[in-house]
Amino acid sequence: MCVLWLDKYRPQTIKDLDYQKESFERLGDLVSGNDFPHMLFYGPPGAGKKTRIFSLLNKVFGHSVDKLWVERRKVKEGSEQSIAIISSPYHIELNPSDAGRNDRLVVSEIIKEMASYAAVNREIEAEGEKSSGLHAHFSAAKKKSSKHSKDEEDDEDTKPSHSAPRFKVIVLNDADMLSRGAQQALRRTMELYVRSCRLILVAETPSKIIEPLKSRCLCVRVPAPTDEQVFDLLKDVYDQENESSRLYDMSDSDILTITKMCKGNLRRGILTLQATCAQRTHLRKKTMPEEAEWRLLIHQIAQRIIDKQDGQALLSARTDCYDLLTSCIPTDIIFEELTMTFLQKLPDSVHSFITFYAALYEMRAVKGTKAIYHIEAFLATVQRIIVVNLKRK
């Protein structure tokens, strides 16, 4: 069975983290008791936010957080719209922004319902007391014997050092994509059910989260790894996979190329590494990693706008933008890639105009309902900027 290297080599505990380890060890000391505050983890995609969150949960609750199941819940009665919820005995994970404009209903109904329940039932608590008693017994035996001390020390890191807290943890992905009404409802939920649940928000940027939410959370920034750290991690994954099979043939320069392509996104780097190795194994030839098709399409749209400033170029760009949106490429990613491409290919004199209008139309796209209108308006504005500031001089 094919296993994603991303999941296979994901760190499970704080001690297994490969970078930014010291700061998160201090954070682990904070959650080592029976309580910890609401948290907001923010940082660029692929930096390791979710990995660090589940390392903390593993430290607090032990291996119980790895016993996962998936269920779907309807947003409201009589509606066919539903969202996926990943659950364990001690935490749940969901993405309210998947409900679109109904995200407030998810916060006010589903999260409120789950937060009102106690974290653990009596049976789980009884098992926890038994396991804590066994844990104390084996800890005493461990002091008498040093034969397997190192292995036991690694096992202790994945067990809670205390009785499990009597609350449930709710992990909310893409918290910065929630509407203002949903964030206000979430603030009230945090205040009402602080005894029975703790919220961990995951976001790329805290600027889109209202101040009352941020003030109630411990904000933790997860910066992207450096190119050196990404290269070392990719090289370590490749060496471990190639140690036994010897099926792959990649040089350090190939791994360095993947490192530069992923731009600090470690998730993208590991997935690209696995895909490249799989292609070389099956095709038996040198196959360099390629950019994703949707990213190449965005670059083509930007180049078409730069080359021609007429209605035909804008009309063809509209068709490609529809293809991107129907392929579930997020609107903010489209704006980001378009903006970066324009900034790379146009002179510095127009950079301030492009960044201003990119931010303006992205904000309007968030508040509006039809993203295609705002993307097309941004492209038309860039055409106007090129005509006025470049071609007329």
- The confidence band for 187, taking pLDDT boundaries of 50, 70 and 90, is confident
Torsion sign across C-alpha atoms 193, 198, 204, 209? positive
Token pair recorded at residue 133: 């008693």
Q: Which residue has the tokens 């009352």?
A: 212
* pLDDT tens digits along 2-45: 678 888 888 888 787 777 777 777 777 777 666 778 899 999 88
CB neighbours (10 Å) of residue 95? 20
Residue 185: count of CB within 10 angstroms of its CB: 22
DSSP one-letter string for 183-229: HHHHHHHHHHTTTTEEEEEEES-GGGS-HHHHHTSEEEE-PPPPHHH
383's tokens: 């055409």
Using CA atoms, how far apart are residues 75 and 96, in angstroms rounded to an integer? 9
> What is the percent of the chain where pLDDT is above 90?
13
Helix (H, G, I), strand (E, B) or coil at 79: coil
What is the structure's pLDDT at 360?
92
127 against 101, higher pLDDT: 101
Q: Within 10 A of 310 (CB to CB), how many other CB atoms are there? A: 8
Q: Where are the domains of the chain?
A: 5-221, 227-283, 305-391
Consecutive H or E run containing 143: helix 122-144
The rounded distance, in Å, linking the Cα atoms of 162 and 205 is: 34
Q: How confident is the model at residue 366 (pLDDT cuts 50, 70, 90)?
A: confident
The pLDDT value recorded for residue 126 is 45
Q: Cβ(75)–Cβ(106) under 8 Å?
A: yes
Sheet containing strand 218-221, strands side by side: 69-74, 82-87, 91-94, 168-172, 197-203, 39-42, 218-221
CA–CA separation, 349 and 207 (whole Å): 27
Provide mean pLDDT across the span 60-72. 82
The fold adopted by the segment(s) 5-221 is Rossmann fold (3.40.50)
CA distance 96 to 211: 19
Distance of CA 175 to the CA centre of its chain: 11
Structure tokens at 156: 């202790």
Residue with tokens 């309210």: 96
Q: Which of 283, 290, 280, 292 is nearest to 250 (CA)?
A: 280
Q: Does 127 score more than 70 pLDDT?
A: no
Whether 207 and 177 have beta carbons less than 8 Å apart is answered as: no
Instruction: Say if CB 242 and CB 273 are below 8 A apart.
Output: no
Round to whole Å and give the CA distance between 43 and 222: 5
Contact 175, 103 (CB under 8 A): no
CA distance 314 to 212: 42
Two tokens at 69? 């199941």
CA angle 41-165-67, nearest 5°?
A: 75
The pLDDT of residue 41 is: 92
Show the tokens assigned to 105: 């209903």
Q: Does domain 305-391 have CATH number 1.20.120.10?
A: no
* Beta-carbon count within 10 A of 116 CB: 12
- Give 82-97 pLDDT, tens digit per residue: 788 888 888 888 888 7
Residue 135 near residue 157, CB atoms below 8 Å: no
Whole-prediction pTM value?
0.73
pLDDT at residue number 1 = 45
Per DSSP, 18 falls in state S
